[in-house]
Chains A and B, each alone.
Chain A
């Protein structure tokens, strides 16, 4: 690893690319099959297809984008590159899971509260149609906000 400079891999047949490509196709089709053709529970489907997505992203980074490649003899550049991408991935996961959690878990409670008979003076719900408040729990008529 320490001596893996950019120099080493540009001769001969591009096996790394071919392997990356074949694995990407396999992961894509397998994810599609898991999602549409199996009877697994929703939770398992989500875990598996997102696991495949991250695996495939890692394949692109390693096989196609040469993220571990160093421009100099020290491996400083690859450490910066990998560290930066991992940190960005962490930020992305926090943004997505955090937003979904805040806006769905928290919001469901809020909705329940709203359905109680004596909450009509909640200031931020003035534009809800009066008669439709009870329909479909959480996802009814919010789309127009």
Chain B
């Protein structure tokens, strides 16, 4: 099937090769599986969140300030990641790399505050083995944090490739796929924000 030249000349680079198209479609399928993975971890946490043994309850230790800092860092990074893809589609390599670098910086900031928060919880007597509730919390939120960490390495590698090879159908498909991954992490965080933090604080307050 000779697709190569049948495109609208405006078709973004990442969709111009068969491999690029199939990889992007395949990545959407993978995200569906990731949704199921996180759903099981959410279910575990939500079933166990009242089983606090002799430790503190999650809602007792959550702090609005730290929550908002993390949320805005990740939310903004999702926005700047979108801008990076926007620049990529205008063939602006410099814009792409600049916005992606900002995205990575915000991602690192998110990780910094998340780790600081984890250390704070541990200091307050809530570690992964304290109770079923805290085990569920650290596994769920930690899995998300591990995804962010992986994403930072992955995006960095792809950016190095873009810097070396320029924007080709292959590299632009990779950038687009990493952008889907990054946005997805923000989607997961929205639900952590709501189901873990907000619900925890609501139940603790009354």
Chain A residues proximal to chain B, CB less than 8 Å: 5-11, 14, 17, 20-21, 24-25, 28, 31-32, 35-36, 42, 45-46, 49-50, 52-53, 56-57, 60-61, 63-65, 67, 71-73, 77, 80-81, 84-85, 87-89, 91-93, 95-96, 98-100, 103-104, 138-139, 141-145
Contacts and interface: CB of A to CB of B under 8 A. Distances in A.
B25 A64 contact: no
A20 B48 CA distance: 34
Contacts of B31: 85, 88
Interface string B74-99: 01101101110010011000000000
A28 B62 CA distance: 16
B202 A143 contact: no
Interface residues of B, number: 64
Contact of B86 (A17, A42, A139): A17
A63 to B, nearest CB: 7
B183 A36 contact: no
Main secondary structure of the interface of A (DSSP, over half): helix
Contacts of B184: 65
B143 interface: no
A92 B195 CA distance: 13
Contact of B64 (A11, A32, A65, A144): A32
A139 B51 contact: yes
26 contacts: A7-B11, A10-B10, A10-B12, A14-B83, A21-B75, A24-B75, A28-B72, A28-B75, A32-B68, A35-B202, A36-B202, A46-B199, A53-B190, A53-B191, A64-B79, A65-B183, A77-B25, A80-B28, A85-B32, A88-B36, A92-B38, A92-B42, A100-B43, A142-B51, A143-B48, A143-B132
Nearest to A64: B82
5 closest A-B pairs by beta carbon, nearest first, are: A143-B53, A10-B89, A92-B39, A7-B10, A88-B32
Contacts of B10: 7-8, 10
A30 to B, nearest CB: 11
A11 B90 contact: yes
Contacts of A35: 198-199, 201-202
